[in-house]
A and B are shown apart, each in its own frame.
Chain A
Amino acid sequence: MSVVVAKRLVKTYVSGDIRVEAIRGVDFSIEPASFVSFIGPSGSGKTTLLNMIGCLDPPTSGYLQVAGQEITSLSRADAARFRGEHIGFIFQDFNLIPVLTVFENVEYPLQMVQEWPRQQRKKRVMELLDAVGMADQGDKYPSQISGGQKQRVAVARALVTNAKLVLADEPTANLDRETASRIIDLMKQMRDEFNTTFIFSTHDQRIVDSVEITFTLEDGILHRQETMTGGMVGGDDV
């Protein structure tokens, strides 16, 4: 079963007299454990699309199903609960909580979002810190580590709850190229290890090489899809 199914998905922003059609009716579906990127120039609607999939922003019209659940009209609290249960987030600015250590940042979703018992939490956090290569930095605070390291911690935090889907909006925009490609490699490696679906957006053509499935967005329209290695995508715009 697809992790994400979108049909005739539309998002229109209205502010005053101005209407911005950020997403103009797109159809796609994303299969489990795939590694997907949305590529497009600035303003093409990548963030808008990811926010809708991430249950942060409801679509104006159309059908959107994530993790087997229709999410077009969830209440605030239900949307939060849904995100906490099914979706991991990686942010462009890393967005670690400054007053928590690396360990505690990864632990946060297990403690404050899902309520895991202490012992299991500890085990799971160590497992993830190990997987992203940050096991020896657990006691440091975000201000004491580099940008690349922060994003590794963020990857661990996104994966720690066994989310079916990890969404990353331009996760490498604030990293140098070398670090960026390492983060992309890490995410891919995590996909292999945990079978999590990764969806990320980027406007940087150079890091797309390592991506398996690419959707190109232009002016709110999903132009085409490219399948470089796998065949796990269904779209109507081929």
Chain B
Amino acid sequence: MSNIFKLAARNLFRYKRRTLLTSMLITLGVVAVLLFIAVSGSFKALMVGQITDSMLGHIQIHKKGYLASIDSLPLNRNLTGKQLDKIVQVLAEEDGVEAYSMRIRLGAMFSNFIETTNIRLNAVTPTDEIKTAPLLSDRLLAGDKEGLIKQGEILIPELLAKGMKVKVGDAIVLVANNKDGSVNGQTFVVRGILEGISGPGGRDGMIHIDDAKSLLRIGTAEVSEVAIRLKDIDQLPAVFARLQKKLGSIKTQQGGAVFEMHTWEKISPFFNIAKMIDLMTFFIKIMLVAIVLVSIMNVMVMAVYERINEIGTISAIGTLPNKILALFIVEGLLMGILGTTIGTVISLVSIAIMNVTQIRFDFGRQTGLLLSPTIGVADVVLVVAMVIAIAVIASLQPAWKASRMDPITALKHV
């Protein structure tokens, strides 16, 4: 076997330029794919992390029908009493849950004593919210990050702050409709400005949950949504299925479900962008396959044609057809290995350099996001294995032709 490799390697070396050119083509393809996977993967992870860690959490539980009417932030579709007890109990039993935050979501009038506008608010328990959305405080453009929020304080979205010319420390008034139709007002001090991010709730303000209760005159336990953070996002489908099983089975007297549960993927529009990226990765892989297939096949057809006489000679002196087949397949294989090896090395080095140079980029209204491309061993192995397999497959036909050549015809060929 070793001499088959020796012969194949020597023959590749005989046509240095051609071998190099073909290998470079494969290298280019491999680099394109690996870098794309690394960069898009990092972009995806970053965006997903942003979305889940600074706002949505991984899973959200609402009362059935809440999400469909979320635009009006309905207070009459809140989770109450026993429903919350049940949720707390189920979440306590689930090992995959890191933390959860119970939020009241409300709409209110926002006044700076000169002008009035509408504001959407998230009312939270700061300790729970910090654990559930650990990156939330990173969105604070101004104000004290420690402890997130206290009673009597409000975090206002960036756009509103600009539009209403409100600064940290200013006093404002919130006026809200209660469930029973009455109106109530309360003053707050602006504690911080929240950076907006894309997706639902990305431009909402924030107050303490106790303030919301008094503003809305809610006496009992009542929340609009429960946001859940998992220990490991890869466990999302499994945990979601388990929670779904436990909570989804609870029915109202009319037989409808009490709760509705969604993963972040269902809630955030970014999920579709992530899907698009996956699709693009797939097509780039297809292109790589095509490049490898065409370039190796082309070279191997030429290699066989140029060496018809040699094939006749070794066949005449008794080389078995299978060995001739192996000789040419190994040639394609080696070229594939050469191309992928160089390509992988270049890719890994490039990824390392990108991490060292700390490339930042903007996405939508978010600026200065740090790109930290990484690539998993599994992805590298998959691409390498794929390219090498395609190199072998591309060599099959020419190699087969060589191995079936009639020695007399081959020897006569000039």
Contact = CB atoms under 8 A, between A and B. Distances in A.
Please determine whether chains A and B interact with each other in the same assembly: yes
Contact of B317 (A76, A93, A99, A157): A157
Contacts of B10: 99-100
B309 A95 contact: yes
Nearest to B315: A80
A83 B7 contact: no
B314 A97 contact: yes
Interface residues of B, number: 25
Given A51-B408, A56-B407, A56-B408, A99 B14 contact: yes
Contacts of A100: 7, 10
- Interface hub of B7, B310, B318 (most chain A Cβ within 10 A): B318
Given A56-B316, A56-B408, A89-B316, A98 B321 contact: no
Nearest to A97: B310
B11 A91 contact: no
Interface string B291-325: 00000000000000000011011111111111100
A54 B316 CA distance: 8
A144 to B, nearest CB: 14
A45 interface: no
Contact of A80 (B11, B313, B318, B411): B318
Nearest to B318: A84
A225 to B, nearest CB: 26
Contacts of B318: 80-85, 87, 109, 113
Nearest to B11: A99
Interface in B1-55: 3-4, 7, 10-11, 13-14
B14 A98 contact: yes
A210 interface: no
Given A56-B407, A56-B408, A77-B320, A97 B315 contact: no
Contacts of B408: 51, 56-57
Contact of B313 (A57, A77, A87, A97): A97
The binding surface of chain B is classed by DSSP as helix
A160 B227 CA distance: 81
B326 to A, nearest CB: 10
Interface residues of A, number: 29
A111 interface: yes
Contacts of A109: 317-318
Contact of A89 (B13, B317, B404): B317
Interface string A37-69: 000000000000001001011000000000000
A135 B259 CA distance: 90
B308 to A, nearest CB: 12
Contact of A112 (B3, B13, B14, B310): B3
A156 B151 CA distance: 100
Contacts of A112: 3-4, 314, 319, 323
Given A99-B7, A99-B10, A91 B411 contact: yes
A231 B43 CA distance: 89
11 contacts: A56-B408, A84-B319, A84-B320, A91-B411, A98-B310, A99-B11, A99-B13, A99-B14, A112-B314, A113-B317, A113-B318
Given A95-B309, A97-B7, A112-B3, 16 more contacts: A76-B404, A77-B321, A77-B322, A80-B315, A80-B319, A80-B321, A85-B318, A88-B317, A91-B411, A95-B312, A95-B313, A99-B10, A99-B13, A99-B14, A109-B317, A113-B318
Interface of A: 51, 54, 56-57, 76-77, 80-85, 87-89, 91, 93, 95, 97-100, 108-109, 111-113, 157-158
